[in-house]
């Protein structure tokens, strides 16, 4: 089955750090660009970051640039998001998604930034 | 950054109605436009990519059109399972941006 499964979301204090993971299965992971997209409670979708198939190119939303780092390990079929200097406004459900046009999404992992 | 403006932000429709949602980009994006459906408590689902190409497994009642700055998503005959929020998204340039969403509710 083709699927993406996110993990790592927890409650963290402002200023803290967190690493999210996304495990891919059922497709050739290193054929695809991968993304992180987030959705704050009751709000719309916000693109966060993208990484090319080989990890050679990365892009970030201005809201997370300098604080978040996207990476991948193609040998483990896994995508990661290292989140530092977390703010309350980073509270959201974080999704990983596959492909340039985000054709497949995981179910999301919830990150809550609160004191 | 490219701004994506969806209209309407919400609409009420009846089963069987034809529904059209529009999405306007603040600058030309060729056909690098996707549409997603999201139901409450669920992840978004890809419906259309490249403005008018239907994703595998998506019923043909969904269709997309447009190029450049103006795009539409049409549901030909609304069914109970289609009540959801719909988002457009441009992937022509970074940062990737989404429209604000259109909530389709039962009349």
Summary mean pLDDT of chain A:
97
Instruction: Give the pLDDT of residue B54.
Output: 97
CA torsion angle B79 B85 B91 B94 (round to 10): 180
Q: What is the pLDDT of residues B11-22, one digit of tens each?
A: 999 999 999 999
Taking CA atoms, B8 is separated from A106, B65, B75, B100, B101, in Å, by 28, 17, 14, 10, 8
Decide if A102 touches B, using CB distance below 8 A: yes
Instruction: Kindly determine whether residue B43 and residue A106, on different chains, have CB atoms separated by under 8 Å.
Output: yes
Chain B residue closest to A6 (CA)?
B43
Please choose, from the candidates B27, B30, B34, the residue with its C-alpha nearest in 3D space to the C-alpha of residue B87.
Answer: B34
Nearest-Cα distance to chain B for A83, in Å, is 18
Distance from CA of A69 to the nearest CA of B (A): 15
C-beta separation of B104 from B13 below 8 A: yes
pLDDT at B106: 86
Rounded average pLDDT over A86-96: 98
Q: What is residue B80's three-state secondary structure?
A: helix
With bands split at pLDDT 50, 70 and 90, how would you rate the model's confidence at B96? very high
Contacts A47 to B, Cβ<8 Å: 89, 95-98
**Each residue's pLDDT tens digit, B27-48:** 999 999 999 999 999 999 999 9
Whether residues A47 and B46 touch (CB distance < 8 A) is answered with: no
Is A102 in contact with B94 (Cβ distance < 8 A)?
no
For chain B, the distance separating the N- and C-terminal CA atoms, rounded to the nearest angstrom, is 36
List, as ranges, residues 66-95 from A with C-beta within 8 Å of B: 95
Residue of A47, A101, A104 lying closest to B98 (CB–CB): A47
Percentage of chain A exceeding pLDDT 70: 100
Q: Are B43 and A105 within 8 A, CB to CB?
A: yes
Neighbours of B24 (CB within 10 A): 16
Looking at the partner chain, which of B45, B46, B100 has a beta carbon nearest the beta carbon of A101? B46
Q: What is the pLDDT of residue B90?
A: 97
User: What pLDDT is recorded for position B107?
Assistant: 86
At which residue do the structure tokens 């959705």 appear?
A: A39
Q: Using CA atoms, how far apart are residues B22 and B5, in angstroms rounded to an integer? A: 8
> Taking CB atoms and an 8 Å cutoff, what residues of chain B touch A60?
95
Which structure tokens are listed for A35? 């993304």
Q: Is the pLDDT of residue A45 over 90?
A: yes
Three-class secondary structure of residue B7 per DSSP? strand
């Amino acid at each position: 089955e083709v699927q993406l499964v996110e993990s790592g979301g927890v409650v963290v204090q402002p200023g803290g750090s967190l690493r999210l993971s996304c495990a891919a299965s059922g497709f050739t992971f290193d054929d695809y660009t991968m993304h992180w997209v987030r959705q704050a409670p009751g709000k719309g979708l916000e693109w966060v970051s993208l990484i090319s198939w080989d990890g050679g190119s990365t892009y970030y939303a201005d809201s997370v640039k300098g604080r978040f780092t996207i990476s991948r390990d193609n040998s483990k079929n896994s995508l990661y998001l290292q989140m530092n200097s977390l703010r309350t406004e980073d509270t959201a459900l974080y999704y990983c998604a596959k492909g340039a046009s985000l054709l497949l999404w995981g179910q999301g992992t919830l990150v809550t930034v609160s004191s | 950054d490219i701004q994506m403006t969806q209209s309407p932000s919400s609409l009420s429709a009846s089963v069987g109605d034809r529904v059209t949602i529009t999405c306007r980009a603040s600058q030309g994006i060729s056909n690098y436009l996707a549409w997603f459906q999201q139901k409450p408590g669920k992840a978004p689902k890809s419906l259309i990519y490249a403005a008018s190409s239907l994703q595998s497994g998506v019923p043909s009642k969904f269709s997309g059109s447009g190029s450049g700055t103006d795009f539409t998503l049409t549901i030909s005959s609304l069914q109970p399972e289609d009540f959801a929020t719909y988002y457009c998204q441009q992937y022509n340039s970074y940062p990737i941006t989404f429209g604000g969403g259109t909530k389709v509710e039962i009349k």
